[in-house]
Amino acid sequence: MYILGIESSCDETAAAVVKDGREVISNIVATQIAEHRLYGGVVPEIASRRHCENIYQVVSAALEDAHLKLSDIDAIGVTYAPGLIGALLVGVSFAKGLSLTSGVPLVNVHHIAGHIASNYISHKELEPPYLCLVASGGHSHIIEVSSYTKYKVIGRTRDDAAGECFDKAARTLGFEYPGGKFIDAAAKRGDPFAFSLPHPRVQGSEYDFSFSGLKTAVINLVHNASQKGEEINRDDLAASFQRTVCEILVGNTIKAAVNGGYKTIAVAGGVSANSGLREAMQKACDEHGFKLYVPSLTYCGDNAAMIASQGYYDYISGKRAGLDLNGIATLPLDKISV
Ligand code: KG4
Ligand code: ZN
C-alpha cells in the first residue's frame, strides 16, 4: 500500500511516498532555513508564502522519484496539526484538492505522531507498546505509545521546548539559527563539566520539563562575563549546556520508563539528532537493560516520510478526513480521535 505524505507545518515543504508504513520510496524536503535565518527564527508569513510557491513542485517530485502516478497512491496523509496555522493550511488545502480531483482518500496526520513514526522507518522491528521522548523545536513530550494510533502524553514542557532552548542558547553564544547542531558540534570540543547549570524541577509532575531557567542561566553567564570584560570559552559552555539538557531529558524519560514498566524507549524529533542525547540515552538504556531506538539522521527533523508512515497506520485503522478538514495550530496528541 502506497501513502503519499505531505508536510508543511513549519519551515519545510515536504512530500514523500512510503510503502506499507515502513519503506521510503521517495522523500523530498524543500527547506526555507536560509531565508528565516536572516530574521533569527521562522517568520510565519514568509513560511506560508514559500509553501504556497513550492508545494506543487515538491509533491510532483515525490511522485516522480517514486515512479508512481497519483492513481497508484492508496491514500494521501497530510499534517493538519499542530503547527503554524498559515503554513498548515497550505498543505491541507493542497491535499484536499489532490484528493478531490483524484478520488484518493485523505487522512489527517498529527505532526507529533509523525515524529514518533520516524522510528518505524528506521527500525522495521519496532512495534508498540513503548515509551517515546519527542524533542523538537516546538515540543518536548514523554509519550506512552500503546498502539500505532493510541498515545498518552505523561510529560511535557511547561515553557520552552528542548529545541527552542538549544536555539536560544545558541543565539546567545553567537551561532546562527537554528543553532542546535552548532551547539552539538561545539560541545564535542568543550568540557561538559566546566560550568554547573541549573536543572529546573517542575512542581507537581515528575515527568514535566522546564527549560526557560536553563536558557536564562546561559544568557546571564554570557552577559555577566561580557560586562566584566571576561572571555567565556564557548565550547565549554556549549558542552556544559548540552550535558545539562541531556541529563534532564534522559533523567525524566528513564524515570518514566522504570515507573511504567517499559523496556523499550524511542527518541524522535529534531533534537534526537543531537549526538550527546543519543549517547547519554544509549548509556542510560544499557544500564537499565532497555532497548533504545533513534531515527536515522535523515528522519529526525521535519519530513513527509514520517507523515506518510503514520498516515499508513491511521489509514488502516480507518481514519479518514473529509473536504471540511481544517488546520489546527494547537492540538494535544492524546486529544485526537481515530
Ligand atoms: O523536529 P524539527 O525539525 O522541527 C519541529 O517540529 O520543531 O526540530 C527542529 C529543532 C531545532 O530547534 C533545532 O535546533 C533542533 O531541532 N536540532 C538540534 C540538532 N539538530 C536539530 N538540536 C540539538 N542538536 C542537534 N544536532
Ligand atoms: Zn517537527
pLDDT tens-digit series, residues 183-216: 999 999 999 999 999 998 898 889 999 999 999 9
Whether pLDDT at 337 is above 80: no
Give residue for cell 554547573. 196
In the chain, domain spans: 2-116+299-335, 128-295
Place of cell 564535542: 188
Residue having the nearest C-alpha atom to atom 1 of ligand 1: 270
DSSP states of 84-127: -HHHHHHHHHHHHHHHHHH---EEEEEHHHHHHHHHHHH-TT--
Q: What is the pLDDT of residue 338?
A: 61
Q: What is the pLDDT of residue 201?
A: 84
What are the tens digits of pLDDT across the range 253-282? Answer: 999 999 999 999 999 999 999 999 999 999
Residue with cell 484538492: 97
Q: What percent of the chain has pLDDT over 70?
A: 99
Report which ligand 1 atom has the smallest distance to the Cα of 138: 7
pTM of the full predicted structure? 0.97
Identify the pLDDT of residue 286: 98
Identical fold between 2-116+299-335 and 128-295:
yes
Band the pLDDT of 336: cuts 50, 70, 90: confident
Ligand 2 ion: residues within 5 Å (CB): 136, 302
**Percent of the chain clearing pLDDT 90 (strictly above):** 97
Q: Which residues of 156-189 are buried (b: 16+ CB within 10 A; e: fewer)?
A: bbebbbbbbbbbbbbbbbebebbbbbbbbebbee
Q: What is the mean pLDDT of the chain?
A: 97
Check residue 301 and give its pLDDT: 97
Ligand nearest to the CA of 7: 2
**Residue to probe by mutation, ligand 1, list 271, 274, 307, most atoms within 8 Å of CB:** 271
Q: Is the CB of 276 under 6 A from ligand 1?
A: no
For residue 135, the cross-strand partners are 140
With a 6 A CB cut-off, is 267 part of the ligand 1 pocket?
no
Q: pLDDT per residue over 218-244, tens digit each?
A: 999 999 999 999 999 999 999 999 999
State in Å: Cα 12 to ligand 2 middle: 9
Q: Domain 128-295: what homologous superfamily? A: ATPase, nucleotide binding domain (3.30.420.40)
In terms of CATH architecture, what is 2-116+299-335? 2-Layer Sandwich (3.30)
Residue nearest (by alpha carbon) to ligand 1 atom 21: 270
Indicate which atom in ligand 1 lies nearest the CA of residue 269: 1
Query: What's the whole-number mean pLDDT along residues 283-291?
Result: 98
Element of type H or E holding 288: helix 275-288
| Closest ligand 1 atom to Cα of 162 | 12
Which bound ligand lies closest to the C-alpha atom of 178? 1
Cβ(301) – ligand 1 distance below 6 Å: yes
C-beta of 269 in contact with ligand 1 (< 6 A): yes
Q: Do 45 and 73 meet the contact criterion of CB atoms below 8 Å apart?
A: no
Mean of pLDDT values over 9-26 = 98
For residue 300, report the distance from its CA to the centre of ligand 2, in Å: 8
- Contact of 295 with 278, CB cutoff 8 Å: no
